[in-house]
Structure 1
Amino acid sequence: MTFNELTLWLFSTLPFYTLTLTIILALLLDKYLGEARQYHYLVGFGWLAQQIEKHLNTFQTDKKSDETQPLRFNIKKALLGSLAWVILVLPIALLYFLYLNHLTWYWQILLDAIVLYLAIGLNSLHQHAMQVYQPLKENNLVQARHFTGYLVSRETAELTPTEMSRATVESMLENGHDSVIASIVYFIIGGAPLVIIHRFANTLDAMWGYRTLQFNSFGFASARLDDLLGFISAKICTLLYAIQGKFLTALANAYKQGNTYKSHNGGWVMAAGATVMNKKLGGTAQYNGKRVESVTLGCGENIAVEDIPKSILIVKRAAIILTLIVLLWQTISFIAFTH
């Protein structure tokens, strides 16, 4: 085959594999470039969200009565929160769909891969996990507690090595869905515009999706819409975790345990991931001075320090399996089209 013939063959074949090529390129960019250290777009997005929230959320707090005030749902605040969500989430995705979603296939792959790379955080997850794992291996509990605080909202000042390991594994399995698998799934379903919508919606849920006096009403739409957007991808992520071992048991635990967990989507993926690892998650944790009991997720032994890198491996394998499924699907489509 001559060079010209090879070039012609590539340009006639590769357009059938745009999804696969985009996902692979995005994962490679994430692996070798990692997360932006400066001028990260989510920092700017978060700042903008704070400014809008200050103007639209008329929350007033009285420190003396803050903890004793009952949570009441305010329709006006909920509508304003919904408006803020629309203002922040939809415009960029809509502009991308209208003006940047119809390029020549190779430019489309490059642009979409950059958007997907900016949305996924597999490299970042690995780094955050190692920031806890390495100090724990060296018995540096002060540093390990410090970096555990980057991952979870629970109080970390008195966490034991086992509790820090549990918190880190829970974070890896749940965020493996939120920041890796969900982004790839929604790229497959709706391309880069849907990836943008999911990433921004997930960020707003992390900022506003709390049952507090400040956000119970204003953050209602953010919390519910994030649950809705994550529903399909969480079930796919559960399958991708479960397929790595104890498939039926992992699915059964995801259904039984995940449905009783405080976060439906998070419960499903954590229960499946923990079952594959033959480990148990959940238990007690301290939040704002209050002891909270979480349901058991998974089955088997208690979490140990060495399970931290194993949890990251579960997420990496899930991303690879999903990419291979897309490759197989596009290959079958290519063969069917050419024959």
Structure 2
Amino acid sequence: MAAGLLADRLLGEARRFHPLVGFGRWARALEAATRRHVGTHRGAGMLAWALAVLPWLALALALRATHPLAHWPLDIALLYLALGGRSLAEHAEAVAAPLAAGDVDSARAHVSWIVSRDTGALDAAGVARAGTESVLENGNDAVFGALFWFLLGGGGGVLLFRLANTLDAMWGYRTPRYLHFGWAAARIDDVLNALPARLTALTYAVLGNTRCALKCWRTQAAAWDSPNAGPVMAAGAGALGVALGGGALYHGQWEQRPPLGAGRTPDAGAIRAAITLVRRGSVLWLAITSALAVVITLAGWAHA
């Protein structure tokens, strides 16, 4: 876990030949073939999900079994490829820096790379709100969810989580095209993210304004459309002491979203504070994991 986090911090996201780019092409080809030969119903989407994910999971497990020490390099590599902490920070800073300098147009252009809402008409506060929300939500998907499934299932666990999360990002939309076909991808990602999301929310609360974060989590999360993003973003906004949520334009349709957090209007500082929250959270997870490993090892020695 330490090696994977260090590799992500030092190397960042692979610039060329990233496996997830290849997986995306594989998934698009499977989607086209499944739609053509099976259909667009829920069963077809479930079949496409299985064909997209399970062969790679089986390959990873087979490679782990080739040698008693094979899991070390393989698990580290899979965790590194699944993590996106540095990439998230770089994208967020590309929004925060011009925003802090008063260049709203540049900040607006960069925030469009990391959010799904329409950004063309966002003012400075809207850009900061979108950037902060993205960092908090993706802190779970790109960091803590990956760490959780790595701890639970090693390389196979983190591979399953990252591929399922990628398919949810591709297919998990309530649009006419994916309403039925993407149902399985969305539901599987919800299940895999249920516990990590709440641990992420707890992490944000512990490292920020704890009382406000817990109150916002308790009173605001249930109103959010996503059962997992709600706790993460409500607790994160409360931990930072900023007001998020509210109306936003998605695919030409205005959506009035519930409020998140409490306090000041977000700015460039809020985006940077969210980055710091995620970074400190990953250090906390590593410290707790290391302490537990030492305790378990010492307990084993004492028993022996």
1:170 aligns with 2:133: yes
Q: 1:270 to 1:38 in 2, by over 3 A?
A: same
Aligned match of 1:216 in 165, 179, 182? 179
One-letter code aligned to 2:138: N
Matched residue of 2:243: which SS? strand
- For residue 171 of structure 1, report the CA deviation from its aligned partner: 0.3
Distance in 2 (CA, whole Å) between partners of 1:334 and 1:137 is 48
Show the counterpart of 1:39.
17
Show the counterpart of 1:68.
none
- For residue 58 of structure 1, report the CA deviation from its aligned partner: 5.2
Matched residue of 1:291: which SS? strand
Distance in 1 (CA, whole Å) between partners of 2:276 and 2:83 is 16
One-letter code aligned to 1:196: L
For residues 165-212 of structure 1, what are the alpha-carbon distances to aligned partners after superposition, in whole Å with 9 as ceiling and x for unaligned? 110010000000001000000011111111111101100110111111
Show the counterpart of 1:50.
28
One-letter code aligned to 2:6: L
- For residue 248 of structure 1, report the CA deviation from its aligned partner: 4.2
Show the counterpart of 2:55.
91
One-letter code aligned to 1:93: L
Give the TM-score of the pair, scaled to structure 2: 0.95
One-letter code aligned to 2:213: A
| Aligned positions of 1:1-339 closer than 5 A | 23-57=1-35, 77-101=41-65, 103-105=67-69, 107-339=70-302
Distance in 2 (CA, whole Å) between partners of 1:248 and 1:141 is 33
- When structure 1 is superposed on structure 2, of 215-224 and 76-85 the one drifting more is 76-85
Structure label with greater radius of gyration: 1
Percent identity of equivalent pairs: 37
Distance in 1 (CA, whole Å) between partners of 2:280 and 2:6 is 15
Show the counterpart of 1:12.
none
Distance in 2 (CA, whole Å) between partners of 1:131 and 1:80 is 39
Kept in 1: contact 2:97–2:268 (CA 8 A)? no
For residues 201-241 of structure 1, what are the alpha-carbon distances to aligned partners after superposition, in whole Å with 9 as ceiling and x for unaligned? 10011011111111000000000110010001111111111
Kept in 1: contact 2:9–2:85 (CA 8 A)? yes
Q: 1:102 to 1:181 in 2, by over 3 A?
A: farther
Show the counterpart of 1:63.
none
Question: Runs of 5+ in structure 2 lacking a partner?
Answer: none
Distance in 1 (CA, whole Å) between partners of 2:20 and 2:285 is 26
- When structure 1 is superposed on structure 2, of 272-281 and 95-104 the one drifting more is 95-104
Distance in 2 (CA, whole Å) between partners of 1:331 and 1:258 is 36
Q: 1:194 to 1:326 in 2, by over 3 A?
A: same
Matched residue of 1:57: which SS? helix
Q: 1:103 to 1:274 in 2, by over 3 A?
A: farther
Distance in 1 (CA, whole Å) between partners of 2:65 and 2:123 is 49
Kept in 1: contact 2:248–2:256 (CA 8 A)? yes
For residues 303-326 of structure 1, what are the alpha-carbon distances to aligned partners after superposition, in whole Å with 9 as ceiling and x for unaligned? 122111110001011111111111
For residues 24-51 of structure 1, what are the alpha-carbon distances to aligned partners after superposition, in whole Å with 9 as ceiling and x for unaligned? 1111111111111111111111111111
Matched residue of 1:295: which SS? strand
Distance in 1 (CA, whole Å) between partners of 2:133 and 2:44 is 33
Distance in 2 (CA, whole Å) between partners of 1:288 and 1:303 is 24
**Paired residue total:** 302
Give the TM-score of the pair, scaled to structure 1: 0.85
One-letter code aligned to 1:138: A
Q: 1:321 to 1:221 in 2, by over 3 A?
A: same
Distance in 1 (CA, whole Å) between partners of 2:85 and 2:66 is 28
- For residue 57 of structure 1, report the CA deviation from its aligned partner: 2.3
> Superposition RMSD on alpha carbons, in Å?
1.8
Distance in 2 (CA, whole Å) between partners of 1:42 and 1:76 is 24
Structure 1 stretches of at least 4 aligned residues deviating more than 6 Å after TM superposition: none
Distance in 2 (CA, whole Å) between partners of 1:157 and 1:314 is 28
Matched residue of 1:282: which SS? strand
Question: Runs of 5+ in structure 1 lacking a partner?
Answer: 1-22, 60-74
